[in-house]
Structure 1
């Protein structure tokens, strides 16, 4: 998705969100037997926050250029 959004400003935040999601997935798969449920929830929460920040950063320049509604 980040590569598709490349022409937009702040597309790097979407790329960073995807990289962190992949890192969390690798950690979960590597330590699946020892992974506690709270850790899965923590990773999911961090991932959702990162994606939300990325989407907000990408959309803010478009809000300013759209003018009043």
Structure 2
């Protein structure tokens, strides 16, 4: 696995944990965003763009929610 892929996966994990711990009402969306990832593992060929899209969707979810609750 490439370092960039590993870094993005780490970010995804951190963002998911942030949602679970700080924004539990958003947990229902975690499954939906996971479903947007292609099937298979990184070793089998999930491309970096798909990982970036998933990471960005989690970031967007958090930011939109933070704006909404202000």
Larger Rg: 1
| TM-score of Structure 1 vs Structure 2, range by shorter chain | 0.3 to 0.5
TM-score by length of 2: 0.47
Give me the TM-score of the superposition, normalised by structure 1. Answer: 0.47
